Structure formats: structure tokens, C-alpha cells
Structure 1
Amino acid sequence: MITTERLILRLPEPRDRAALHAMWADPAVMAELGPVKDEAASDAVIAKHDGYRHEGLGFWVVERRSDGAMLGFCGLKRGDAHNPIAGEIEAGWIIDRPHWRQGYALEAMIAALDWGWAHFDAPRIVAITSAINIKSQRMMARLGMRRLADGDYDHPLIPVGDPLRPMVTYAIDRP
């Protein structure tokens, strides 16, 4: 568990399932991230991220300390084999729509990056997003990440012609 001034980053629990599903089922939340998810797909995401724990990685629920509200999901994992950052430590986040533009993602990810540097000797941490996801790219820049000139690629699991297929890669070097 990680705590910040306003947040707790903790392992997902069964009580989080409904809130996580609602977030991933919201078309506005998923517009630049990928297709909305039904309950089975939401459960698969939770299970997938739980599977990263064998390396000490994984995503946490972002919970507001003041009232216990589930705000989102963030953390670190290994880059998937089908992209240019395969095997590197990859940062990711998603915040539910009612909690956008309140600094929660930035606060959570600063803590997640600090945790990553303390627990792993990786020379850098990377993040990917769709080229149209300008909000995430701005967030990456605010985290101190820079866009990698050789990190643009077409995501092989997203259909040709889908506006989410072109991807960009950002990275931050170990402080």
C-alpha cells in the first residue's frame, strides 16, 4: 500500500469490482483508451494486473483517503511482448470521469514512480498511449517523461483504421 496526501494506492479487493466495472464501461472514460468493457472483460483486466504481482509489479486501486471513494486504477507492469517496450517497466493509469481534472492521476503516478524507483533498478520507466490521447501525453510530460522519437508504432492488436491504433511512447530516466 502507498499513501499520499490525498490518496491510498492499494491492491484491488472484491468490493472494488462494481466501481471498476462502471469506470471501464463508461464510453467517455474509454474514448481514447480502448473499447468499453463488460463485466467479464473488467474481471479479466483485474486478473491480468494481479498476475504481474509475481514480479512485485501490478496496478493499484486509487482510493481517496477522506472518504474511501474509488477514483481509478494505476501502477506499473512489464511492457507487453507486442510493443516496442516489451519487458520494460511500464506505467499506466485511468481515473473515473467524476474525478478528472483534480490532480489525482498526477499525485497517484508520482507516488507510483517513486515506488518503482525504490523497488526496481530499471534505467527508465515508460508509458504508452494512443497518439490521439493528448490528455495522457500531457500527463506524461507533467511526470517528467519525454516522447521517444523511435517509440511511435501501430498497435498490432487494434484494427487497421481504428483511430486508437497509432501509439506513442514516453519515458523517464532513473533520477
Structure 2
Amino acid sequence: MIETARLLLRWPEPQDFAARAATFADRETMALFGPGQDEDGVRADLARHASYHPQGLGFWSVLERESGAWVGFCGLKPGAPDTPIEREIEVGWLIARSRWGRGYATEAARAALDHAWRAFDARRAVAIVARPNAPSHAVAIRLGMQRLPALDFLHPKIDPTDPLAAMNVYAIDRPA
């Protein structure tokens, strides 16, 4: 478990499922991130991320420390295969719409990056942000990440005609 001033990050637990599924079903949220998922898709996503746990990777559930409420998820994973980031450590985040505007994505992602520097020898970490997702571009910039336009790509799991398929790549180097 990772603690920040306002958040707890821990591996997903069964009681997180309903909130996670509701977030993936929320049209306004997913309008910034890509195709939503039904409950079977959420289960598959959780299983995929659990497969990263032996490597110390995966997305944590993000909870408010004070209330214990589920806020979203954030964490580290291997870069997507067959993309320019496939050999990188990727940091990612998704916050429930009811918790937007509170700085939770930045706080959680900063904690994930701090964990990456302690746990792995990676020289940098990357993030991918759908081109239309202005709030997540702002998070990446607040984290101190720099755009790497030469690595931008179309996400292989999103219809290439969908504007959300166009991924902008950001990176941050390991602190000295």
C-alpha cells in the first residue's frame, strides 16, 4: 500500500468492482479515455493488471484516506506491445468523474512514479494520453513530463478513426 497526504493506493479488492465498473460505464468519463467497458471487460482488465503483480506492476485502486471512498485507479504497467513504448514502464490514471478537479490524478500518479524510482531501474517512465484529453495532458505536465512527439501512435485497441486512438506520449527521466 502507498499513502499520500490524501490518498491510499492499494491493489484492487472485490469491493472496488462496482465503482470501477461504474467509472468505465460513465460516458462523460470515457469520452476522454476511449471505449468504455461492460462488467466482463472490467473483469478482464482487472485480470490483466493482476498478471503484472509478480513484476511489481499493475494499477492500484485509489481511495480517499479520510472517507475510504474509491476515487479511481492509477499505477504502473508495461508499455503496450507493438507500440513505441512497449519496453517502457507506463504510468496511467483514471479518476471517477465525481472526483475530478481535486488534484487526485496528479497526487496518485506522483506516488506511482516515486514507487517506480524506488522499485525499478528504469531510466524513465512514460504516459500515454489521448490527444483530445486536455485534463490528462495537464496532469502529465504537472508531473514534470515532457512530450515526445516522435513516439506518438495510434492505440492498437481503439478504432483508428476514433480521435481517442491518437496517443500523445510523455516521458519523465529518473531523478538524479
With the shorter chain as reference, the TM-score category is: over 0.9
Question: What pairs up with 1:77-92 in 2 under 5 angstroms?
Answer: 77-92=77-92
Q: Which amino acid is 1:60 matched to?
A: W
Indicate conservation of the 8 Å contact 2:34/2:165, yes or no. Answer: no
Q: Which amino acid is 1:88 matched to?
A: E
1:97 corresponding residue in structure 2: 97
Aligned to 1:158, the other structure's residue is in SS state coil
Larger displacement relative to structure 2 (146-155 or 54-63): 146-155
Question: What pairs up with 1:109-120 in 2 under 5 angstroms?
Answer: 109-120=109-120
- Alpha-carbon distance between aligned partners in 1 of 2:168 and 2:117, rounded to the nearest angstrom: 23
Question: What pairs up with 1:17-28 in 2 under 5 angstroms?
Answer: 17-28=17-28
2:3 corresponding residue in structure 1: 3
Q: Which amino acid is 2:164 matched to?
A: L
Q: Which amino acid is 1:59 matched to?
A: F
2:73 corresponding residue in structure 1: 73
Identity of aligned residues (%): 52
1:155 corresponding residue in structure 2: 155
Higher helix share: 2
Deviation at 1:155, TM superposition (A): 2.1
Deviation at 1:164, TM superposition (A): 1.2
1:41 corresponding residue in structure 2: 41
Q: Which amino acid is 1:31 matched to?
A: A
Indicate conservation of the 8 Å contact 2:9/2:61, yes or no. Answer: yes
Deviation at 1:157, TM superposition (A): 2.8
Q: Which amino acid is 1:67 matched to?
A: S
- Alpha-carbon distance between aligned partners in 1 of 2:155 and 2:36, rounded to the nearest angstrom: 17
Once the two structures are superposed, residues 89-126 of structure 1 have per-residue CA deviations (whole angstroms, 9 ceiling, x without a partner) of 00000000010000111111111100110000100000
Larger displacement relative to structure 2 (8-17 or 147-156): 147-156
2:174 corresponding residue in structure 1: 174
The unaligned stretches of length 5 or more in structure 1 are none
Q: Which amino acid is 1:36 matched to?
A: G
Deviation at 1:161, TM superposition (A): 1.6
- Alpha-carbon distance between aligned partners in 2 of 1:160 and 1:86, rounded to the nearest angstrom: 19
Aligned to 2:114, the other structure's residue is in SS state helix
Deviation at 1:160, TM superposition (A): 2.9
Q: Which amino acid is 2:21 matched to?
A: H
The unaligned stretches of length 5 or more in structure 2 are none
Aligned to 2:61, the other structure's residue is in SS state strand
Deviation at 1:38, TM superposition (A): 0.7
